Amino acid sequence: MDRRTGLPIVGMVGAGQLARMTHQAATGLGQSLRILAVDPDESAALVGADVMIGSHASYDDLVRFATGCDVVTWDHEQVSGEHIRRLAAEGHTVLPGADALLFAQDKQRMRARIEELGIGVPEWAAVSTVDDVESFAEKHGWPVVLKVVSGGYDGRGVFVVSDVKTAQPIVRQGIPLLAERFTAMSSELAAVVARSPYGQLAVWPVVETVQRNGICVEVLAPAPGLDDGTALAAQQAAIRLAIELGVVGVLAVELFRTEDGLLVNELAMRPHNSAHWTIEGSRTSQFEQHLRAVLDYPLGDTRMTAPAVAMANVLGGPPEGPGIDERLHHLMARWPAAKVHLYGKQVRPGRKVGHVTVLGEAIGEVRATASAAAGYLAGTDPS
């Protein structure tokens, strides 16, 4: 509890753009997010008043950080379960807790648990040798998708291999891997839900996520052309997973839409790129909702503020030509309705340095605007 304000203190471990945008939401709720940053130049550390420099990998730093927080939550999945358990055992409130986070940290445990619950996942097997990969391919065909069991994100740690020869160097690194059937899908969806300790649940409309090279480039809300039955099934899967896995806070469930129905691809237990559109596009943003959930406040209204919302990531281009400030001038002149979010990160090719959201009546139009504006800002699109 902050004695100056009479309001709670939420600590977020990690200082990326998720913590940055959570601080914006915390400010509205009368709080100031406490942030654990590795470096003072990280995205959230540049804007937060209450920043501690330390490592999420050090238990000493974590416990020093947690002391005085009403609740500690996560900007990323890279905190060890053992450390989280120890924090909880010492009386700190850590949400989501280690038992839930495990399923966002370990893809093998996650897939096994989801199967157990009778929710679809792509066919998979743990693999540790090239022979394992080959026998998986004999059953399910090439190409095979190899994924690192933990630590992958944004397409890193995911390899599509078309034969034994390309699989070899990956398997031989000795990192725990799983093999997954290469799924023919019509689209990728995300169902995002928030759950409070009390058990309240609030789900946003299901969105389509558009990937390029394994990185999310666009999110379309609501998912275009999605029938009500499939949308409901996706929301129900997300709600069921939030309850069964004991998630508190925001849970993002990434799904493949296939001929055989919905298959869960990934889980994230924190605010997620697939719901950045909620800042302007929903009555309650995922950042505010995450705070409300971990504080056990009642959850906010998740209705959309416009019929169609598109979000496009700004993936930094080559550092040539006009700088980001000059590009921003042009963007604002050309697309006055585009809402820009810049994360204060140095531009590097392919790096997520911001996003653009556009609200409107028809998804085609808002998608085209968001995509053009984000591409222009990144310097990768000449339009």
321 near its own copies, rule: CB under 8 A? no
Identified binder of its own copies from the candidate list 283, 307, 362, 364, rule CB under 8 A: 283
Q: Judged by CB, which is closer to its own copies: 15, or 171? A: 15
Q: Judged by CB, which is closer to its own copies: 28, or 261? A: 28
Pairing mode, strands 177-181 and 215-221:
unpaired
Max Cα separation, the chain?
65
Identified binder of its own copies from the candidate list 15, 16, 19, 20, rule CB under 8 A: 20
Q: How many CB atoms lie within 10 A of CB 98?
A: 18
Query: H or E segment at 242?
Result: helix 228-244
Contacts of 58 (CB under 8 A, 6+ apart): none
Residue 224, token pair as written in the block: 């275009």
Identified binder of its own copies from the candidate list 10, 12, 47, 366, rule CB under 8 A: 47
Residue labelled with tokens 């997973």 = 241
Q: Would you give the binding string for its own copies spanning residues 323-362, x where CB under 8 A is met?
A: xxx--xx--xx--xx-xxxxxxxxx------x----x---
Contacts of 2 (CB under 8 A, 6+ apart): 8, 9, 31, 32
Looking at 108-116, 141-149, 158-166, 322-330, which segment touches its own copies (CB under 8 A)?
322-330
CB 35 within 8 A of CB 10: no
Question: How far apart are CB 144 and its own copies at their closest, in Å?
Answer: 41
Question: How far apart are CB 311 and its own copies at their closest, in Å?
Answer: 13
Write the DSSP string, 191-203.
Answer: EEEEE-TT--EEE
Q: Judged by CB, which is closer to its own copies: 185, or 306? A: 306
Task: State the helix-helix crossing angle for 98-105 and 81-89, rounded to 10 degrees.
Answer: 170
Residue 11, token pair as written in the block: 């600590």
Identified binder of its own copies from the candidate list 54, 151, 155, 300, rule CB under 8 A: 300
Interacting residue ranges for its own copies, rule: CB under 8 A:
1, 4-8, 20-21, 23-24, 26-32, 41, 45-49, 51, 280, 283-284, 292, 297-301, 303, 305-306, 323-325, 328-329, 332-333, 336-337, 339-347, 354, 359
